[in-house]
Every structure is written in C-alpha cells, then in structure tokens.
Structure 1
Amino acid sequence: MTQPAQKLSHASLQEAAHWFVRLQDEQAGPQLQQQWQAWVEQHGDHQAAWHYVQRVGQRFAPLQGDGSGAGRVLREHDARRFSRRSGLKGLLVLGASSLLGWSTWRGTPLTGWTADLATGIGETRETRLADGSQLWLGAQSAVDLDFTSLARVLRLRFGEILVETAHDARRPFFVDTEQGRMQALGTRFAVCQQGETTRLDVYAGAVEVCTARSGERCVVQAGQQVDFTALGIGSTRPAQSAGESWIHRRLNAEDMPLAQLLQALGRYRHGHLGWHPAVAPLSVMGAFPLDDTDRALALLQAALPIRVQRLTPWWVTVEPA
C-alpha cells in the first residue's frame, strides 16, 4: 500500500510531482521516459512518492488518455515491470491504487466507508445523539457510535470532532482513539486525531485521559489542551479555539504552528497541500476561511515569509520565501 504523504519526504514528493507534469507533455520522448524510470527505481521513497502523486493526479489529470504522455509511459513501464516480476499480481496492485485514489477524492479513507458517521473533503456534519448529546464532525472524519445501557462510547477513527455531552448519571461518556480513552466529566470538548497523536481541547467541565498502552492518566480541566500518544501524555497548555471554530467555517489560529494549520486546511480542499519542513514551525495568528482555502493561503503568504507554489491546480506547496 502507498505510504501516507506525511511519511514521505517533501523533496521526493516535489520531484515526483515535477516528473508527473513533465511526462504529460506530448513531446515527452524515450530519453525523458528512461530518466524518469531510472529516478523511480533509484529509491523506495521515489516509488512511494510517485504512486502518491499518481493517485492524486488521477482525479484531475486522468492517465487514460490518447496513448501519449504520462499515461503511455506508465503503461509501457508497468507492462515491462509486471511481466518481468509479478504479472497479474502487479495488475491487481494497480487496481487497488485506483481504488485508493477514488477513495481519497470521495473524501474518506477506505477505513471510513463502514463508519456510523463520516464526512468528506470540506464537509462538516452536526447531529444530535440518542442521549441528547451534540456531536459535530469536521471535514474528512469518521466516528462509530456504541451506546448501551452501561456506557456511551464514540470511536474516532480519524479526523476531528466537537462534543457537548448530555447529562446521564447512569452511563459514562467515552471517546476512544487509537491513542487512548477520554471520559467526559460533564463537558464540551474537541478531539483531533493526527497520525500517532490525539489532541484534546476542553472548553467546559473536564475530561479524564487514559493512554492505550501505558495506562497513564490525567484530568484535563476547562481551558486546557493536551496532546497524548498511546505511551504518554504531554504537558497541558491553554486550549485553542481552533478546536471549535471550524463549526463556523473558519479556523482561528492562536500562536499555531503553520504545519498544523496547513494540515487542517488540507481537509477542506481537493488535491495535495504540502509544505517545506523549514516553514512548519512558523507561528500563525488570525482567522482563516475554510470555504475559500485559496484565500486562506493568500493571507498566510501576505503575513509570513513563505511562498505558495502551484505546480498544478491540484498540487500546491508552501515554501520558504
């Protein structure tokens, strides 16, 4: 399976995107094709980056063209490689890649298809649960519901949620992620799962955190934020309004790292939104529209020493100025 973009180097992704654009040129000849093939086979990261770019590009620049450009190169290269190595198995990998690409643009990963509640790219959802609690799902999020006579449990598969719990003295309210379990103590709170970390913002009441592997516990009070992994809990800091501002279709940044803001914006736009590691820690302040991510990027470019580079309409990166 293709690696997630965040686990690939920025340089490899940018190189792969440039190759994709060059190979779509109808004038691309055998020499360029050979150079591309050599680059792909040079390193596993190149192969993973190429497959990622291919998946993204399928939505906006389909490879099933007239036999020229990147589509022809891919078919010729893959035909040689598959016949030489894995035959039908390789073709099945291509089919899986197409399916993954489709799921990306549907807005939810494959693991979200069977979730009780899910949202796509740029989509948010508000719902009242059976117990009267209020639940908001951010863009590209998925959650399962497990309400019994003993407990109320939300399982956040990926993405972010905002919860305002209803009082129920008989049944505790839990939110589970891969990193651990949170028990609401009469509260309003936001949970965001990003990779191997869960971020918790508490706006009212309190939430008790218990990590999945170490069993470490911590009560997070109203006005506090904390990040935790399956092995441990970080130090508390002031809660950020970004965890709930998205329900109003804006993202409030209060001394927020640029990488965190861009990751959030990426859930509200089609295509790849990447950034150079050098700009990741830049601090951001302000309110940014989620309904117009291009405007949000323009605001960032005007305020920070960065440059928004658009290789194609669907491949955008933020580089140092």
Structure 2
Amino acid sequence: MSKPAARTAPVQRGPAQAPIDAAIVQKAAQWMARLWADDASTAEHAACAQWRAAHPDHERAWRRLQALDDKLQDVPQHAARVLDPAATNTLSRRRALQVLGLAAIATGAIHTARNSESWRILSSDYSTKVGEIREVVLADGTRVVLNTASAIDVRFDGAARDVILRSGEALVTTGRDSAAPARPFTMRSRQGAVRALGTRFMLRQDDDVSHVAVFHGAVEVLPAHALEAPLRLDAGEGTSFSDTHVHPRRAALERDLAWSQGLLIAENMRVQDFLREVGRYRQGLLRCSPEVADMRITGVFPLADTDRALANLKLALPVELAYRTRYWVTVQAR
C-alpha cells in the first residue's frame, strides 16, 4: 500500500496561527485515507495536491496528520496486542486508523480525543514514547530533554520563544537568543507559565499541579489565574503550582535530574511511590498489595530496564513479584 507524499518535519508555529478548523482536518483525513488505498489514481493524487495548495490551513492539517501517522508507526506491536489481541490479527494498522478516524468524525468524538493524554502526545511537535528519554535542540540552541511519555509544542516568533509542555516532564537548558533585543523564553503548562532568566530548569506536568525545579540561573513562576506577582526561584529552589497559587519553596536536588541519565534515585521512598515512578517507564499495570505499600526503599535503579529495577526491589525487601503477564505485575509480601 503506497503512502502519499513525502513527510516533512514539524513546523514551528506562531501565536498568530489559529487552530485548524475541524472541517479542514476532516477533509485532510478523507484525502489521506483515500490515497492510502491500493487503487488510488494519479488523478486523485493530483487533486489532493491541488487541495493542499489551495489554502495554508489545508497544508497545515495535512502535515499534522502525517506527523501523527509517523508517531503511530512507533507504537510497539506487542503493546497493541495487549490492548486487543483479536484486532491485531484482523486489521492492519492503517485500516484500524481509518476506521477509528471515521468513527470519531461520525460520532462527534473529535473534541474528546483532542483533550485526551494520547492525543496531546501524538499531535505534538516533539514527543517520547513510554520508556523513552530524548533530547531535542530548538532553533535558538535551547536543549530540551524529554522524559518518558512527554510532549511539547514549540511556538517561536519575532517577539517571543514559547514552549508548551503538553504532557510529562522536560529538562530545559535555554539557549542564548541571537535576536536583538533577546526574546523572552517561557515554558507553559496547563497550570501556568515559567519564564526563564538564563536558566537550566525542569518542569513536570501532573493532572492538577505542575512542579518546577531550578538548577542554574532563575525563573519566574506565574499561575494562569493568579492575582499575585510572579514568584522568582533561584538555582537550588523548586516549587509546585496550581492554576491559582504557588506552593511554598522547596530544595531542588540534583537527584531530581537522575532520570535524564536513565536512573531513578530512591531515598527512603515508599514502595507505592517507587512503583508509581517505575510504572511511568513501562507498558501495562504495575501495582502493590496494601501490606507492602509503605515499606521503604533506598537505592539506584535503571529506568531503561524496569524488569531489572523490579528484581532489585525484590532483593532489597521481603517482597515477591507476581507476574500475571509481562504487562500486569503485582508486588506483594513474601
């Protein structure tokens, strides 16, 4: 089955570029589904190219769908089988995408999909899969290390450098802007904004709160709906913030950066919290029985090999691992 047109890299978008109309996205999806077919004609390829050239939003929608398809190609086949063993035996990946896409359009589920965690990751400019840690270098030289299952969008223009953390966690080392005057660098989460002041910092997005820690320079933290002035954090300081207020300062520890080296450093950590962190780096369900939840663990554990991390837990504590499947593990008392 042939695939239409060559892929292109994600485009950095400025604030002036409004969201693409849903009808345009639907039309782009229809064209893409048609050109995926084995019997797509030369005339249909030409007509699609003409439609893409008719308006900039047509091309934007096309590129965004292609980027989505690129990322879906990276979904492990074994993970797909865990979710639905029967479906993978009868449907190809692309046929499943067509069916799911048309179903979403027919049932009006587009809004729900766009607000899901999976959509935020798949439709972003840069993202990582579960268990992947990746560094990207932005146009201004800023280095962003993305933790597992993380996603960012980049919006640079002549006046500002904005990065939106859609999901997960990122370690940012800001570049020296060549523009004059230098454009401010701001990283945004769902709860608010962190403005960098020549900085190396980390931002993590959880459901209802964001966490920031500063390792060099300083940042200003401004919740989205705060009434007070921004809070300045200097190197060695961190905090959490909701969309209305900032929590008290805390120490920013270098061990908080261990994940960027593929390690989890646990210091007197509850087993329940340990499993929550390790579970971010593996597919499936990882849980513990109540009698071991509050046991404490100290050590250094590899995030690239979570089975090994779990085996080390078993060596350190009187627990055992019950594998229902490779993707369903329970830690229980020995």
**Which bin holds the TM-score, normalised by the shorter protein?**
0.5 to 0.7
Q: 2:82 is matched by which residue type in structure 1?
A: F
* Of 302, 309, 316, the match for 2:322: 309
Tell me what 1:121 maps to: 130
Matched, 1:176 2:185: no
- CA 1:224/1:283 → structure 2, altered by over 3 Å: closer, same or farther? farther
Tell me what 2:207 maps to: 195
Q: Structure 1 regions of 5+ residues with no counterpart?
A: 1-55, 66-91, 97-107
Distance, in Å, in 2 between the alignment partners of 1:221 and 1:282 is: 34
Q: Deviations over 1:179-218 (max 9, x none)?
A: 1100111111111112112111111111111112234432
Tell me what 1:144 maps to: 153
Matched, 1:59 2:84: no
Conserved? CA contact 2:79–2:283, under 8 Å: no
Taking only the aligned residue pairs, the percentage that are identical comes to 38
Q: Structure 2 regions of 5+ residues with no counterpart?
A: 1-77, 88-102, 108-116
Q: Deviations over 1:253-308 (max 9, x none)?
A: 34555444433322321211234567556554321101111121222333346543
Distance, in Å, in 2 between the alignment partners of 1:122 and 1:141 is: 10
Deviation for aligned residue 1:153: 0.7
Q: 2:327 is matched by which residue type in structure 1?
A: W
How many aligned residue pairs are there?
228
- CA 1:246/1:197 → structure 2, altered by over 3 Å: closer, same or farther? same
Q: Deviations over 1:62-103 (max 9, x none)?
A: 4539xxxxxxxxxxxxxxxxxxxxxxxxxx69x99xxxxxxx
Give TM-score scaled by structure 1 length.
0.63
Q: How does 1:1-321 map to 2 (within 5 A)?
A: 59-60=81-82, 62-64=84-86, 109-168=118-177, 170-216=182-228, 217-276=230-289, 283-304=296-317, 306-319=319-332
Deviation for aligned residue 1:251: 1.8
Deviation for aligned residue 1:151: 1.0
Distance, in Å, in 1 between the alignment partners of 2:122 and 2:252 is: 31
Tell me what 1:19 maps to: none
Task: Tell me the C-alpha RMSD between the 2 structures.
Answer: 2.9
Distance, in Å, in 2 between the alignment partners of 1:112 and 1:121 is: 11
Give TM-score scaled by structure 2 length.
0.60
Q: Deviations over 1:210-254 (max 9, x none)?
A: 112234432122112212111222222221334422222112234
Q: Deviations over 1:141-193 (max 9, x none)?
A: 11000111111111001111110012335211111001110011111111111
Q: State which drifts further: 193-202 or 260-269.
A: 260-269
